Amino acid sequence: MILAFRRWCWNSRCESSPRRITPKNKFLPYVVSLVAMKLTVMMLLASNKRSHPQRMGALSADYSLTVTAVDTVGKDEMNNRRYWQMLENLEEAEIEGTATNRTHPSSIWLIYNRVPRCGGLTMVFLMKELAKVNRFAHQRHQYRTPWNRLLIEEEMKNLVTWFEYQHQAKSYDRHFLHVNFTRFQRYTKNLRPTYMNIVRDPAEREYSAFRGRRSQDPLQITQEIKRRDAAGAGTGMEWYTKSFDDCILDEDEECAFNSSEYTFSRAIPYFCGQDPRCLVPRSRWALQRAKFIIEHEYSVVGILDKMNETLHVLERYIPRFFSGSAKIYYSRGYGRRHENRYIKSKPALSDQVLAKLRDSLSDEYELYEFCQQRLYHQYQQTINTH
């Protein structure tokens, strides 16, 4: 109909009567086509919502986990009785890390939901270099822009929808808890993101976070000292000069890792996902869910202290993004320096402090050892097959 209208408008009759083509009506065909397209899209969305209400509405946490697992694993594993028993009895399940490669063959999205204080800046610099060589785009989140790590439904939908409009290979990094993409995908059901992450020794991570609060932007440090001095004279400098050993051994509130308060400083929530229960320290359910999602969703979870093995596995498990990563990593000197310009050399932790941290961060150490086991199996798999 639109094409016929345009032919009529621009035929010899129109040419003989140019006054009929006025500014008011010469764009009418385009306006009509746009209105028709909008009506069609609205009808399709309404139809999709009626046909698949579970994709558009909110899901319970348990059902969300089930959808994640079902959409990720293969048919053989879905029929595996042990797999379903593990899912149904998560807290009592014996979850082991394997060498299974979870990278989807057609994946063009790489999600790096960074665990804090785990060499994230170094990895981001590496990924930006790799983007030039492997022809993908890296989308880095602006960390001075506020963004929640525990997202609401609308934020998760917006994130997934943004990716659905990315038709070229793209990597993305940000501090946020694991998001189940298959729960919110509407237009790209055949695509799956590739998840990766890096973890480190929990005691070293907490030590790094402690020093980072005192070695970051000088302006922020000055503001923190003034804020504390306003609450109590002299407390600002007392906070600034405090040592990590004293903070741990004196059981200072800042280093109260046995606290039951929600926290985003641990590694477990970043794998456990978008559920408030994932933030509860020493939660067996959160730990088991984190291990389950790592094993069944993440292609690679590397270890900061084992970058040689980590890069080796990344190159072979996610070649689309990490091909040639070891060469760039070592040629640029990323293995010899820390990319955070505010962090200086730090003294080693005492055995007494390490023992106390291992006790108070026991669940974090269990996850860390699980990731070490999984990376070891993946590394051995790459050696045996090449």
DSSP states of 69-115 as a string?
HHHHS-HHHHT-HHHHHHHHTGGG------------TT--EEEEEPP
Residues 194 and 313 in one domain: yes
Rounded to 5°, angle at Cα 74 from 127 and 44: 80
Rounded to 5°, angle at Cα 206 from 373 and 275: 70
Whether residue 323 is contained in a domain is answered as yes
Whether residue 63 is contained in a domain is answered as no
Residues 196 and 345 in one domain: yes
Residue ranges making up the domain that contains 247: 206-255
Residues 216 and 348 in one domain: no
Final residue before a domain boundary, out of 232, 255, 278: 255
Distance, CA of 196 to CA of 114 (rounded, Å): 9
Residues 277 and 140 in one domain: yes
pLDDT at 130: 97
Residues 310 and 179 in one domain: yes
Contact call for residues 273 and 90 (beta carbons, < 8 A):
no
Residues 170 and 319 in one domain: yes
The string of DSSP codes covering 111-132 is EEEPPTTSSHHHHHHHHHHHHH
Whether residue 82 is contained in a domain is answered as no
pTM, rounded to two decimals: 0.77
Contact call for residues 249 and 259 (beta carbons, < 8 A):
no
Tokens of 237: 């400098």
Distance, CA of 358 to CA of 367 (rounded, Å): 12
Rounded to 5°, angle at Cα 165 from 163 and 170: 50
pLDDT at 293: 95
Q: How many residues does the chain have?
A: 386
Tokens of 176: 């946020």
Residues 140 and 223 in one domain: no
Whether residue 125 is contained in a domain is answered as yes
Give residues with Cβ within 8 angstroms of 213, minimum separation 6: 224
pLDDT at 220: 87
Q: What is the number of domains present in the chain?
A: 2
Contact call for residues 14 and 21 (beta carbons, < 8 A):
yes
Residues 367 and 296 in one domain: yes
Whether residue 75 is contained in a domain is answered as no
Distance, CA of 358 to CA of 203 (rounded, Å): 7
Whether residue 377 is contained in a domain is answered as yes
Final residue before a domain boundary, out of 255, 278, 296: 255
pLDDT at 148: 84
Residues 229 and 348 in one domain: no
Residues 239 and 289 in one domain: no
3-state secondary structure at position 262: coil
Reported as a single tens digit per residue, the pLDDT across 334-377 is: 876 544 544 556 778 999 999 999 999 999 999 999 999 999 99
Whether residue 122 is contained in a domain is answered as yes
Regions of the chain where pLDDT drops below 50: 1-21, 41, 44-64, 66-73, 75, 143-144, 338-339, 341-342
Residues 180 and 239 in one domain: no
Residue 188: which CATH number? 3.40.50.300
pLDDT at 265: 85
Whether residue 72 is contained in a domain is answered as no
Q: What is the dihedral of CA 359, 348, 309, 272, to 10 degrees?
A: 40
Residues 216 and 196 in one domain: no
